[in-house]
Amino acid sequence: MKKNISKILIANRGEIAIRVIRTCRDLGIPTVAVYSNADVASPHVRLAGESVYLGKSASSESYLNMDKIIAAAHKTHADAIHPGYGFLSENAVFSKRCADEGLIFIGPSAESISKMGDKTKAREMMKKAGVPLSPGTTEAVRSIEEAEKVADEIGYPVLIKAAAGGGGKGMRIIENKEAFKSGIRAAQSEARNAFGDDRVFVEKFLQEPHHVEFQIIADQHGKVLHLFDRECSIQRRYQKVVEEAPCAFITPEMREKMSLAACEAARSCNYVGAGTVEFLVDKHRNFYFMEMNTRLQVEHPVTELITGVDLVELQIRVAEGLPLPLEQEDISIHGHAIESRICAEDPYEQFLPSSGLLQRHRIPAGPGVRVDAGYEEGQQVTINYDPLMSKVCTHGRDRREAIQRMKRALREYEISGLQTTIPFCYYVMNHPAFVNAEYDTFFVKEKFRPGDMQLLDDLKTGDQAAAVASALLYQLKSGELSNHKQHDGTVAATTGETEWWRKRK
Parallel, antiparallel, or unpaired for β 336-343 and 388-396? antiparallel
Return the pLDDT at 139: 87
Same domain as 390, residue 249 = yes
CA distance 278 to 214: 6
Residue ranges making up the domain that contains 295: 210-446
Count of domains for the chain: 3
C-alpha separations of 397 from 213, 334, 383, 388 in Å: 22, 7, 38, 28
**Is-contact 393 365, C-beta < 8 A?**
no
Return the pLDDT at 176: 95
Same domain as 179, residue 91 = no
CATH code of residue 166: 3.30.1490.20
DSSP, collapsed to helix, strand or coil, labels residue 311 as: helix
Secondary element (H or E) of residue 303: helix 300-307
Asked which of 395, 423, 446 is the last residue of a domain, the reply is 446
Q: Is residue 498 part of a domain?
A: no
Secondary element (H or E) of residue 414: strand 414-416
Return the pLDDT at 3: 87
Q: Is residue 489 part of a domain?
A: no
Catalytically active residues are 295
Per-residue pLDDT of the chain (505 residues; tens, 9 = 90+): 678 999 999 999 999 999 999 999 999 999 999 999 999 999 999 999 999 999 999 999 999 999 999 999 999 999 999 999 999 999 999 999 999 999 999 999 999 999 999 888 899 999 999 999 999 988 899 999 999 999 999 999 999 999 887 777 899 999 999 999 999 999 999 999 988 999 999 999 898 999 999 999 999 999 999 999 999 999 998 899 999 999 999 999 999 999 999 999 999 999 999 999 999 999 999 999 999 999 999 999 999 999 999 999 999 999 999 999 999 999 999 999 999 999 999 999 999 999 999 999 999 999 999 999 999 999 999 999 999 999 999 999 999 999 999 999 999 999 999 999 999 999 999 999 999 999 999 999 999 999 888 654 444 444 444 444 444 444 444 443 333 333 333 333 333 344 434 443 3
Return the pLDDT at 497: 42
Return the pLDDT at 455: 53
Return the pLDDT at 374: 97
Return the pLDDT at 164: 86
> Is this structure's pTM higher than 0.85?
yes
Same domain as 237, residue 178 = no
Secondary element (H or E) of residue 120: helix 119-129
CA distance 293 to 295: 6
DSSP, collapsed to helix, strand or coil, labels residue 156 as: coil
Same domain as 172, residue 41 = no
C-alpha separations of 13 from 43, 50, 208, 365 in Å: 9, 14, 36, 23
CA distance 9 to 101: 14
Same domain as 193, residue 74 = no
Q: Is residue 264 part of a domain?
A: yes
Q: Is residue 127 part of a domain?
A: no
Same domain as 188, residue 248 = no
